[in-house]
Amino acid sequence: DAKTTQPDSMESTEGETVHLPCSHATISGNEYIYWYRQVPLQGPEYVTHGLQQNTTNSMAFLAIASDRKSSTLILPHVSLRDAAVYHCILRVPIASSSFSKLVFGQGTSLSVVP
């Protein structure tokens, strides 16, 4: 089961800045937060990840709460091509293994209108 909670959908207008929230109240101290986005019938695309500090790259800014129980993905000046399902994911251990896995949930479906 996914360890994160996200709104089912959000809508934005082209050029706006979008804030996508994610709750991960049971996060463990060494679990990284990952964000991916996916359009129908394509593989997910990595957006960003973080552990404790806010991070930024060419795609987005990730704001992580000081208690790490929530995070927000901030997409500046969205365009139509940013419409996708955005997944907030924790990397969790696989039972009886030293390996870990990404557990995807339903994510937030972001629609962008002109």
- Helix locations, 14-88, DSSP H: none
Instruction: State the minimum distance, in angstroms, from the CB of residue 76 to another protein.
Output: 22
Angle at 85 between CA 37 and CA 25, to 5 degrees: 85
Which positions touch another protein (CB under 8 A)? 2, 32, 34, 36, 41-46, 49, 91, 94, 97, 99-106
User: At 81, is the secondary structure helix, strand, or coil?
Assistant: helix
Q: In this complex, which beta carbon is closest to another protein, that of residue 90 or of residue 110?
A: 90
Instruction: State the minimum distance, in angstroms, from the CB of residue 114 to another protein.
Output: 28
Residue 1: CB partners within 8 Å, gap ≥ 6? 103
Instruction: State the minimum distance, in angstroms, from the CB of residue 94 to another protein.
Output: 6
